[in-house]
Structure 1
Amino acid sequence: MNELEELLSKLGTELDKPLPQVEVPTVEGEGLSEDQMVRVTVSGGQVSDIAIDPRSLRKSSVELADDLKEAMNAALVAHADALMVAMQADATDPSTLNTDLDAIAGEASRSLTEYLDLMTQMMESTAAKEG
């Protein structure tokens, strides 16, 4: 088996492997209402805590609902931001990936050049024999 066939075989083997499981980090985000009397915590994508200052219970149901909505939205944004930061920290460094891809491209180019050189030699040898 020549180098090109080996390289193609290795590539086929790599493509047949299942993709690695991506773990989503568990992060937490917290949001407050404007008056800071309602606090919502989101952890792992779910609401894990809601704290309402007893003084908020004097508000109308509409005002309390608005405070809850505001705190919930702020917690979701904080959770999404924390998740993005955590996932970027675990991400592959693009410069490393680029270096690896350059190495693979270089190896493929060398193998292809060798293969083409061998093919050219075989064709020249056949042409010389046929005369």
Structure 2
Amino acid sequence: MAKGQFQNCIFILIGLFFSAVIKWLLPQLTHGNITGGFTGMLCGLAASFWFTNIAWLTFKTPIRQSDLDSVLEKYHYQQTEQGYYELQIAKYRRFKSQRIYISNDGNDITLEGPYNTLKRIINHLNK
């Protein structure tokens, strides 16, 4: 099972678990608030999924590393000593799923990182 599929399964299982808790357990304790709790849970899971969903992007067309570096700098990413790119924000606000890893096998460049950032990189490079 691919890394993304595993993450999707975890999100679905967490959603089902919290749905069961909100649907059957909370009414016993609070006598209501099911709709608000369910809405809050779905919004929280959606935001978590959006910010932590990991994607892979492969460029088959020739692209210069300097162009890629300038786009990453535009989005406040900087290369670390370990070779990956990390956001330049306060350390307590960083998490591993924000990192971007670049691998170059000669013909193709592959990026691994957050889906929403890779989507912006594609849009910027296709202009």
Query: TM-score, normalising length from structure 2?
Result: 0.32
Query: TM-score, normalising length from structure 1?
Result: 0.31
